[in-house]
Copies of this chain bind each other. A is one copy, B any other.
Amino acid sequence: MFRSERVVTRTARKLLQLPSSVEPPLCRRWKGIQKPFEDVIRANIGDCHATGQRPLTFIRQVIALCTYPDLMKSSDFPSDAKNRAQRILDGCGGKSIGAYSDSAGVRVIREDVARYISKRDGFPSDADNIFLSTGASDGIKSILKLAMTGESGNKRAGVMIPIPQYPLYTATIAEYNAYPIGYFLTESNNWALDMTELRRAITAARPNCQPRAIVVINPGNPTGQVLTKENIQDIIRFAKEENLLIMADEVYQHNVYAEGCAFHSFKKVLMEMGPEYSTMEMASFMSTSKGYMGECGFRGGYAEAINFDPDVKAMLVKSISAKLCSSVSGQAVMDVVVNPPQPGEPSYEVFKKEHDTVLGQLAEKAKMVTETFNSIPGITCNTVQGAMYAFPRIHLPKKAIDAAKVKGQAPDAFYCYNLLEETGICVVPGSGFGQVEGTYHFRTTILPPVEKLGEMLARFRDFHVRFMDKYS
C-alpha cells in the first residue's frame, strides 16, 4: 500500500506539538515510501474531534447564534440556545463577540464560572477571581509566570512538578529560567503522590532554588490516575508546611471512569480542612478542550485564583492585559460548559444523551485499554481511572536498549518509532514526560472510536510480540 508523504509528516508535526523533549525522529521525509499499514492512528494527542468525536449540538448552536445573530430568527434553533447566546451577547461590547472583552473575560461568563464552581464545591467562588484564558495552558502560564517572578534573594524560583508531567510545565519553567523540582509519582501505587518523595525532592532542590509552587495534575496527564481525597489532603498539608502556591491542573475534572473513584477539587478539599488551610493561595485550571466537549480548537479555559493577595491579583491583571483578551468564542464555549441545559429545558435530553454517550464510551475505552495492555507480556499498565490517557510501562529487553543506543535514541523513543513505522500507530515516548531512570513507558490516548481502538490494540499486540521476539 502506498503511503503519501503528507499524512506521516502531518503526524510528525502533531507529535512535535508536544512541547517536550520528545525526540523528533519522524521529521525526515518519507516521500513515496511504502508502509505496511493502511492508515496512521494518531493516539499521540488529546484531540477529541480529530479522532472522530462529534461536537455537542448545544455548544455549537450557542456559538453559531453568538457568531451570526440573524439565526435568532431561525426556528431550527431551540429557545434555550437562543437565551444562552443572547445573554452572552448582552455581556459583550456592542453585543458582538467581535469586541474585546475585559482581559479577564466577559463578566457574565466569569459569573457563570463562579456559580459552577460554587455549586460543584459547596463553597463560594467569586467572579473577580475567575480569569478566562486561551485554553488552560494560557492560564497556567500566566499564574506560573507570576509565581516565578520577583526576588528570592539570588535564587531561582523553584516549581514542583510531577514526573511524568505534561510538558507545558517544563517548557514554561525553562522559558522563565525557573528551577523545575521534579517529584516522582508512584507507579506502584497507581501514580499517587508520596509525601516522602515530595520531601526528598524539595530537600534536594533547596540549595538550587527558592521553592514557590507545586503543580498537581488531577486527573493525571499522562498517567490517568484520580487522586483520593486523603492524598489531596496530604498534598495540601505539605504545601502549607513549605509555603507553596498550589497549582491544581483540573482540566480532566469531568473525566473520571473507574469505579470507586471520584473527582475531588483541590479547592473543596482545602475549604473542608478548616480555617488553618482555607486561606492558602491556590489556583485551579479548567479547559473546554477536554471533558465530554473536547472543544480544543476554540481555546477556552479559565483559572480560579483563590486567596491571592490583592496586590498579586492586580499584578496578574496587569500581566495578562498585554494579551488584550482570550478568544471570546472560546469564552462562550466555556459558558456553555459551566451552564449546560437543565432538566425541563428544550435541549436537555439531547445534550444529556450526547454528554453521556461520550463519557460512557471513554469509560469503556479506558477499561479496554487497561485490560488489553495488561494482557500483553512485557507491558504493565495502571488502571486508567480518569483523563484521556494510559501510560503503560514497557519492559524492554537489553538488546532493544542497546539497539536504541546505536541509533542515538531513547529506548522508548526507539520502540515508539518502530511502532509507528510498522503499524502506523502514533504514541508518545515516556521520555517526553519524564520517568524513573531505567524504566520505559509511552503515552497513548484512549480517544479513537471503540472499533478503531480495538484495531489499534490488535495491531499493537502483534507489533509488541514481534518486537520482543526480535530483541530477546
Residues of A within 8 A of B (CB): 10, 13-14, 16-19, 45, 47-55, 60-61, 63-64, 67-68, 70-71, 74, 76, 92-94, 96-103, 134-135, 137-138, 141, 167-168, 171-172, 175, 289, 293-299, 317-319, 321-330
Contact among B61, B102, B319, B328 with A68 in the assembled complex (CB-CB below 8 Å): B61
Task: Say yes or no: A328 contacts B98, CB within 8 Å.
Answer: no
Task: Say yes or no: A100 contacts B45, CB within 8 Å.
Answer: yes
- Given A135-B324, A318-B19, residue A297 in contact with residue B96 (CB < 8 A): yes
Give Cα A13 to B317, complex, Å. 10
Query: Which 10 A-B pairs have CB atoms at the shortest separation, nearest pair first?
Result: A50-B93, A297-B328, A19-B322, A64-B68, A49-B96, A327-B327, A50-B99, A171-B322, A49-B94, A49-B99
CB distance from A75 to the nearest CB of B (A): 12
Give Cα A100 to B13, complex, Å. 12
Contacts of A167 in B (CB 8 A): 322
Task: Say yes or no: A17 contacts B321, CB within 8 Å.
Answer: yes
Task: Say yes or no: B296 contacts A100, CB within 8 Å.
Answer: yes
Number of copies: 2
- Given A297-B97, A327-B329, residue A16 in contact with residue B50 (CB < 8 A): no
- Given A16-B321, A60-B67, residue A47 in contact with residue B329 (CB < 8 A): no
Give Cα A28 to B405, complex, Å. 64
Task: Say yes or no: B55 contacts A96, CB within 8 Å.
Answer: yes
CB distance from A25 to the nearest CB of B (A): 15
Task: Say yes or no: B55 contacts A17, CB within 8 Å.
Answer: no
Give Cα A54 to B68, complex, Å. 11
Contacts of A172 in B (CB 8 A): 322
Task: Say yes or no: B297 contacts A327, CB within 8 Å.
Answer: yes
Contacts of A71 in B (CB 8 A): 64, 71
Specify the chain B residue showing the minimal Cβ separation from A329. Answer: B329
Task: Say yes or no: A94 contacts B53, CB within 8 Å.
Answer: yes
Task: Say yes or no: B100 contacts A297, CB within 8 Å.
Answer: yes
Contacts of A50 in B (CB 8 A): 92-94, 96, 99-100
Task: Say yes or no: B52 contacts A63, CB within 8 Å.
Answer: no
Task: Say yes or no: B68 contacts A17, CB within 8 Å.
Answer: no
Contacts of A141 in B (CB 8 A): 322-323
CB distance from A133 to the nearest CB of B (A): 11
Contacts of A323 in B (CB 8 A): 134-135, 137-138, 141
Give Cα A325 to B13, complex, Å. 12
Contacts of A318 in B (CB 8 A): 16, 19
Task: Say yes or no: B49 contacts A98, CB within 8 Å.
Answer: yes
Specify the chain B residue showing the minimal Cβ separation from A77. Answer: B68
Contact among B48, B67, B324 with A67 in the assembled complex (CB-CB below 8 Å): B67
Residue with the highest number of chain B CB atoms closer than 10 Å, among A10, A98, A100, A102? A98
CB distance from A131 to the nearest CB of B (A): 13
Task: Say yes or no: B134 contacts A299, CB within 8 Å.
Answer: yes
Contacts of A13 in B (CB 8 A): 102
- Given A60-B68, A67-B67, A99-B50, residue A299 in contact with residue B321 (CB < 8 A): no
CB distance from A439 to the nearest CB of B (A): 25
Contacts of A330 in B (CB 8 A): 327, 329
Give Cα A285 to B135, complex, Å. 23
Residue with the highest number of chain B CB atoms closer than 10 Å, among A68, A171, A175? A68
Specify the chain B residue showing the minimal Cβ separation from A136. Answer: B324
Contacts of A321 in B (CB 8 A): 16-19
Contacts of A17 in B (CB 8 A): 100, 102-103, 321, 324-325
- Given A67-B64, A99-B50, residue A296 in contact with residue B324 (CB < 8 A): yes
CB distance from A110 to the nearest CB of B (A): 12
Task: Say yes or no: A297 contacts B60, CB within 8 Å.
Answer: no
Task: Say yes or no: A297 contacts B329, CB within 8 Å.
Answer: yes
